[in-house]
Structure 1
Amino acid sequence: FFPQVVAVAARVLQGCRVLGVPVVVTEQHPRVLGPTVPELGAQDLPKHPKTCFSMVVPAVEAELRARPHLSAAILCGIETQACVLQTALDLLERGLDVHVVVDACSSRS
């Protein structure tokens, strides 16, 4: 299912670009697990490395503070049971509406 998940996530990313929606990309321990796949089409975007489940790391928190007008987040990613879930909970705790694109998420469990 991975190619389908990446294809849907790439379409979400394209839509965000067209609509001017800010995009934040994180990578889970990229030196060990590898970089974001090129098929996503995010090569030109900065990637914030992380070693915890949530993507709400200091660099991302700084981006959120720089955009106080943001009221919602759209999440795509892998390891849904850990990374996407913890990110959703952290963003909800910060008062954002969270939307998870289920067809752009995957999990090993």
Structure 2
Amino acid sequence: MPILANTQYKKGLGPYVPELEEMMAGIPRPDKTEFNALANLETRSLINQLPETLTTLILVGVETHICIYQTAIGALERGLVPWVVADGVSSRTKNNYDLGLSRLAALGAVVGPSEMIIYELLGRAGTPEFKAMLPHIV
């Protein structure tokens, strides 16, 4: 599964926390100032290089009601299905988080917990992929 990430104005807001930096070695991470990641030329170029059969974007990050929201709307406008991982996004306030998720769901984004998307991607038990993922979800 292709993975890419963004930083939001790294010069002013700083890098990822060290734990994420280590896990994301080798993953493309364009820096952006746009709230909609798909409005960023480098990010859009990376998305355009993905196979046309990939039609879903799984979104995690901050802030739910700003960058996640605007990126999901950008995905919908491009005919992509944004899946917003509810326990993988946050906002500075619970109200902004809740309103962001409810607005996204109303506009057609899929909103659900990480466990739901994991099981949807796995499709069935008993596979090597399922066995590899099991320690992370039990």
Bigger strand share:
1
Structure 2: runs of 5+ lacking an equivalent: 94-138
Q: What is the root-mean-square deviation in Å for CA atoms of aligned residues?
A: 1.1
Could you tell me the TM-score, scaled by structure 2's length? Answer: 0.61
SS at match of 1:108: coil
TM-score, length-scaled by structure 1: 0.76
1:62 to 39, 45, 63: 45
**Other-structure match for 1:99:** 83
1:29 matched to 2:29? The reply is no
Q: How far did 1:22 drift?
A: 0.5
Which of 2, 18, 41 is residue 38 of structure 1 equivalent to?
Answer: 18
Residue 36 of structure 1 aligns to which amino acid in structure 2?
Y
Matched with 1:78 is 62
- Tell me: higher relative CO, structure 1 or 2? Use CA pairs within 8 A at least 6 residues apart: 1
Secondary structure of 2:30's match?
A: strand
SS of residue paired to 1:44: coil
- Identity, % of aligned pairs? 38
- Report the CA distance between 1:75 and its aligned residue: 0.2
For residue 44 of structure 1, what is the amino acid of its counterpart? G
- Quick one: distance in 2 between partners of 1:97 and 1:90? 10
State the SS of the aligned residue for 1:84: helix
Aligned positions, number: 89
Structure with greater Cα Rg: 2
> Runs (4+) of structure 1 moved beyond 4 Å?
none
* More helix, by proportion: 2
SS in structure 1 of the partner of residue 47 of structure 2: helix
